[in-house]
Amino acid sequence: MGRIRILSTDIDNLSISDFLASFEKLLTTHGSHQIATVNAEFLATTQRDAEFRSMLRKTALNLADGIGVLWAAKFFSIKVYRIPGLVWAQTIFQIISIGFLILFYPRYIRTVIAEKLSGSELIWNIAEELSRMGKTLFLLGGFGDTPRKVSDKLLEKYPKLKIVGYYTGGPDDPDSVRRVALAHPDCLLVAYGQIVQEKWISSNLQNLRVKVAIGVGGTFDYMAGIRPPAPKFLRYMGLEWAWRLFTQPHRLRRIVEAVIIFPSFCARYKVQLTKPYRQNIVACIVNDDGKVLTCKRHFTDAAHPLHAEPVWQLPQGGLEAGESYEQGMTREILEETGILNAKIKGVLPRVFRYDFPPEIVYTANGGKFRGQEQSIVYLRVPNEARVVLDNREFVDYRWIDKRDLLSTIHPVRHGLIKIVQDNFDTYITSKK
């Protein structure tokens, strides 16, 4: 179990039994939950679509649906060495070699994420689990009498399954939400087509009155016999895309997205990860009452994982070439907070690293770095110290107790904040 990050998205590394245990828990947990079956096209879309990227960060589970996700997990697990002129050559070789191993040694790419969990296969497990628990199901999407045929197929195998409704209405049909809400099912399966269905679920989840909603793409069509599913051995070998291209030539654009564009995104990001970390210094400024200075960022950026909304942070900035920690911190404190009389109490050098996500790594600092390596500097100031914020960076500030840092600072920075807290008393003695 655990989560594997691929580009901007965390994938839940689950076996089928792990998934069913999580599914059962969600069915009995307060609130409504969305599960996404993520494939390579999803992950490619996250690199262009900030709304979709944000949506996948809020789902209860992101399942690995497709051999491309398993391939990417394995691809990112293999190191690229920083040999001048050979970084791209290594990366391209890995893409090609892992691609061939999908065909000739399929078990190899299953050493990071072991199991592919696609909607077309999970629907039977979901139906069985719902039947066992006495929970209800609603089928939404498809064309004509497709959802009825799917209902018949499921009931044929699981006669005790409680299907409380099915409806063909599409994502623009206002009656879809009303029908589902009136039926009040425990589980909703939506077949509007990938990405469209995930956005529809996310937008309407709170009005659907369901416990769990899952997008299942073309699963209804396969179950209803409208389209032939790929043979099992092709699915295992990762050649389902070739089968779909043969049986559905109109999917060419989507297959190119998954087979060519997605690996190119992965390659570019992996090369970026061979670059050095930018040296960054973080200020833990403490007044005589033992309160820590936190500042609220000025700007918002929907494409930025930290700044989709105004966030609080500790003052920080880059360390210039040739600067000592003390020199860099003195400069940054003056630039960002206007404080003149801060006394440095201690330095924790290079204690935390983080990688820039793909959506900003190529633009942050001109794309010269993979992320930041942060050092913490503890400083004391008197209560009367005057704070004059750099209005290009911050709009507000406040002094808070060190115990409130985790609840105030953005969760992405919590790893650093825990280090700040753990070493606080070593360098700072509060005056009561």
The pLDDT assigned to 218 comes to: 79
368 and 303 in a common domain: yes
Alpha carbon distance 294, 394 (integer Å): 10
In a domain, 418, yes or no: yes
Cβ partners under 8 Å of residue 136, min gap 6: 130, 162, 163, 164, 183, 184, 185, 186, 187
Cβ partners under 8 Å of residue 19, min gap 6: 61, 63, 117, 122, 125
In a domain, 432, yes or no: no
In a domain, 242, yes or no: yes
Alpha carbon distance 314, 413 (integer Å): 10
The pLDDT assigned to 321 comes to: 81
The pLDDT assigned to 301 comes to: 46
Range of the domain at 345: 277-427
Q: What is the pTM (predicted TM-score) of this model?
A: 0.83
197 and 134 in a common domain: yes
| Alpha helix segments (H runs only) across 105-174 | 119-133, 146-157
260 and 193 in a common domain: yes
The pLDDT assigned to 303 comes to: 43
Picking from 249, 271, 293, the residue at the C-terminal end of a domain is 271
CATH number of the domain residue 360 falls in? 3.90.79.10
Cβ partners under 8 Å of residue 343, min gap 6: 379, 380, 381
Alpha carbon distance 350, 251 (integer Å): 48
209 and 295 in a common domain: no
284 and 218 in a common domain: no
Q: How many domains does the chain have?
A: 2
In a domain, 285, yes or no: yes
311 and 250 in a common domain: no
330 and 396 in a common domain: yes
315 and 193 in a common domain: no
pLDDT of the chain, 432 residues: tens digit per residue: 689 999 989 999 999 999 999 999 999 999 999 999 999 999 999 998 988 998 999 999 999 998 899 999 999 999 999 888 899 999 999 999 998 888 888 888 889 998 888 888 899 999 999 999 999 999 998 888 888 999 999 999 999 999 999 999 888 898 999 999 999 999 999 999 889 999 999 999 999 999 999 998 878 877 876 665 666 666 665 666 665 655 666 666 777 888 899 999 999 999 999 999 999 999 999 999 999 999 998 654 444 444 456 789 999 888 888 888 888 888 888 888 888 888 999 999 999 998 988 888 888 888 899 999 999 999 999 998 889 888 888 889 999 999 999 999 888 889 999 999 999 999 987 554
DSSP assignment of 324-336 equals -HHHHHHHHHHHH
Picking from 256, 271, 286, the residue at the C-terminal end of a domain is 271
SS3 7: coil
